[in-house]
């Protein structure tokens, strides 16, 4: 028995009950028993693999975070979390990502009816779903499934704006033909007061009407970094309007993005954060990292100045601004409420990444935004990048000097941020950097760390509101 789209709609309310159906118009029990509910509308529990992600999302919801943005979809939405632009657009916002690999509309319905939005009242929901349904379901059934999801959202999050994206194009074939028919129907949901339909699919094609391979991985289904930039930039005006913020510029430089940097030290720091209520946090690269090193490095100085202050060292060798964003957005300060964060970063952007001074400065500004979002009660002590190289004509030092000259303006923009330049304490009268303080002309030795701590102590103790170390 073939059903029309209208008939599909009539059955949406029966999707969660298999025991009995009521009559709808001319259809009564005897007729309904002969009808197979379209899969796209029938809530289905995800596979065991993805059910674990469902459990994790329930835990996130139960933490009671006041999520402003909810992203709903399949692997295309889920894998956005892995992209460097995700942290730029969402890392400093209260976002719940309900993208699940392999999901169709029926799985989304099951998840929504099983707790993933319980107690969540976002300002905006982004929905893009249906490409997995196109493998074996009709366009009519997929549209009915999308409509069932919209009905659920209208019931569960009535105050949220819903941005409904046309299903993104995929390589030519039966699935894409089905999705083209689906997308023609999705336009009519614009008539709903809660829904804004957005179609950016033309931007995925070249002038020759071929999919732009640069926007995809090799499967011409999942998005590349450029593809995610296209999507998130299209969503950003709706997100920023919902949050009452200025829109973030599209296509940001890498230095302001959020580039994955996990590994053993990151995992170690996650454990440390879970075990202690730190009041002082240092963030930076190897220069900060080596406060922890014994021998001719900073550990003895650290113990004297910071051992009694519940201090946490989040310095990572080789770090750049984009990695700092990722680490802080991925648990390294979760649950903390420190009095002070000390930030010094940028020399690796200059030397290793060859970033222009303006890009590194933008990266530092993004780090400040990340810190202020995740640790809103903390003061921030922003240090000038330390001098490097033998003399004032060292090319990397000169570039860092251009960055340092503009750091005071960053601090002036936020009353919780204080800029401090202690660089002259490391230099002789001619501006040379003695190897007695930095043997490799970059990293301090124990004496150099002592100079750092002593020069910073008056300002640090004032911001910590404790007794200075003499």
Query: DSSP assignment, residue 251?
Result: S
Q: Which residues contact 116 (CB under 8 A, 6 or more apart)?
A: 54, 57, 58, 61, 98
- Give CA–CA dist 412/405, Å, rounded: 13
Residue 321, token pair as written in the block: 């601004």
- CB count, 10 Å around CB of 373? 14
Q: What is the pLDDT of residue 38?
A: 56
Give per-10-residue mean pLDDT for the chain (470 aa). 46 38 32 48 75 92 90 97 95 97 95 95 98 96 97 97 98 97 97 97 95 96 97 98 96 96 97 96 98 96 97 98 98 97 98 98 98 98 98 97 98 97 98 98 98 98 96
CA 375 to chain centre: 16
Token pair in block for residue 184: 């023609």
Whether residue 16 contacts residue 43, with contact meaning beta carbons closer than 8 Å, is answered with yes
Packed helices 139-156 and 105-112: angle between N→C axes, nearest 10 degrees: 20
Q: Give burial (CB, 10 Å; 0-12/13-18/19+) of 439.
A: middle
pTM above 0.75, yes or no: yes
Could you please state the CATH topology (level 3) that the domain comprising 44-243 is classified under: Rossmann fold (3.40.50)
Please state whether beta strands 69-73 and 124-128 pair in parallel, antiparallel, or not at all (unpaired).
Answer: parallel
pLDDT at 36: 44
**Which tokens is 200 given?**
């950016």
* Token representation of residue 106: 């029926």
pLDDT tens by residue, 42-53? 777 767 778 889
What would be the CATH architecture of the domain defined by 264-464?
3-Layer(aba) Sandwich (3.40)
Number of C-alpha atoms within 13 angstroms, CB side, residue 413? 10
Task: Write down the H helix ranges in 21-137.
Answer: 29-32, 48-62, 75-78, 84-90, 105-112
Q: Rounded CA gap, 178 and 141, in Å?
A: 11
What would the DSSP string read from start to end of 369-403?
Answer: HHHHHH-TT-EEEEEPPPP-SSSTT-HHHHHHHHH
For the chain, the domains span 1-37, 44-243, 264-464
Asked if domains 44-243 and 264-464 share a fold, the reply is yes
Closest by CA to 368, choosing from 382, 386, 358, is: 382
Other CB atoms closer than 10 Å to residue 140's CB: what's the count? Answer: 21
463: part of which helix (H) or strand (E)?
helix 446-464
Q: Where are the alpha helices (DSSP H) in 280-334?
A: 286-289, 299-306, 321-329
What DSSP assignment string belongs to 27-61?
Answer: B-HHHHTTPPPPGGGS--PPPHHHHHHHHHHHHHH
Kindly state the tokens that stand for 268. Answer: 């170690």
> Residue 340: what pLDDT?
98
Cα 238 to chain center, whole Å? 17
What the block records as the tokens of 53 is 């992600």
In the block, residue with structure tokens 């998005």 = 223
Counted residue by residue, the chain has a size of 470
Are the C-beta atoms of residues 286 and 443 closer than 8 Å to each other?
A: yes
Q: In this structure, are residues 380 and 416 in contact, taking their beta carbons and an 8 Å threshold? A: yes
Structural tokens at position 442: 């970059």
Of 341, 347, 346, residue with least CA distance to 313? 341
């Amino acid at each position: 028995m073939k059903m029309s789209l209208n008939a599909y709609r009539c059955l949406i309310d029966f999707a969660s009950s298999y025991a009995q159906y009521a009559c709808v118009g001319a259809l009564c029990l005897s007729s309904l028993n002969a009808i197979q509910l379209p899969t796209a509308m029938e809530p289905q529990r995800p596979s065991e693999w993805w059910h674990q992600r469902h459990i994790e999302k329930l835990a996130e919801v139960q933490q009671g975070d006041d999520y402003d943005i909810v992203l709903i979809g399949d692997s295309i939405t889920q894998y956005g979390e892995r992209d460097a632009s995700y942290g730029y657009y969402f890392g400093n916002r209260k976002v719940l990502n309900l993208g699940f690999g392999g999901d169709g509309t029926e799985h989304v319905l099951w998840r929504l009816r099983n707790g993933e939005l319980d107690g969540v009242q976002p300002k905006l929901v982004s929905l893009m779903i249906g490409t997995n349904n196109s493998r074996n379901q009709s366009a009519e059934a997929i549209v009915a499934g999308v409509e069932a999801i919209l009905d659920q959202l209208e019931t569960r999050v009535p105050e949220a704006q819903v941005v409904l994206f046309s299903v993104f194009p995929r390589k030519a074939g039966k699935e894409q033909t089905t999705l083209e028919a689906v997308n023609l129907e999705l336009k009519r949901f614009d008539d709903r007061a809660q829904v804004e339909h957005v179609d950016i699919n033309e931007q995925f094609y070249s002038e020759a009407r071929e999919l732009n391979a640069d926007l995809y991985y090799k499967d011409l289904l999942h998005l590349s970094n450029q593809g995610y930039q296209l999507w998130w930039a299209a969503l950003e005006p709706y997100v920023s309007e919902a949050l009452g913020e200025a829109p973030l510029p599209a296509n940001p430089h890498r230095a302001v993005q959020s580039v994955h940097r996990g590994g053993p030290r990151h995992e170690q720091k996650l454990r440390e954060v879970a075990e202690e209520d730190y009041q002082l946090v240092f963030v930076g690269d190897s220069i900060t990292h080596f406060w922890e090193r014994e021998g001719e490095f900073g550990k003895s100085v650290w113990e004297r100045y910071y051992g009694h202050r519940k201090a946490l060292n989040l310095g990572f060798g080789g770090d750049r601004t984009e990695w700092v964003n990722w680490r802080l957005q991925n648990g390294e300060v979760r649950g903390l409420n420190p009095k002070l964060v000390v930030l010094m970063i940028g020399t690796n952007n200059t030397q290793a990444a060859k970033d222009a001074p303006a890009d590194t400065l933008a990266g530092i500004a993004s780090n400040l935004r990340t810190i202020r979002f995740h640790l809103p009660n903390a003061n921030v002590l922003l240090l000038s990048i330390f001098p490097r190289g033998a003399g004032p004509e060292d090319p990397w030092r000169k570039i860092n000097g251009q960055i340092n000259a503009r750091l005071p303006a960053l601090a002036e923009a936020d009353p919780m941020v204080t800029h401090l330049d202690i660089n002259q304490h490391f230099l002789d009268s001619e501006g040379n950097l003695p190897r007695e303080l930095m043997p490799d002309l970059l990293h301090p030795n124990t004496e150099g760390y002592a100079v750092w701590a002593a020069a910073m102590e008056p300002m640090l103790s004032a911001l910590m509101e404790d007794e200075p170390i003499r």
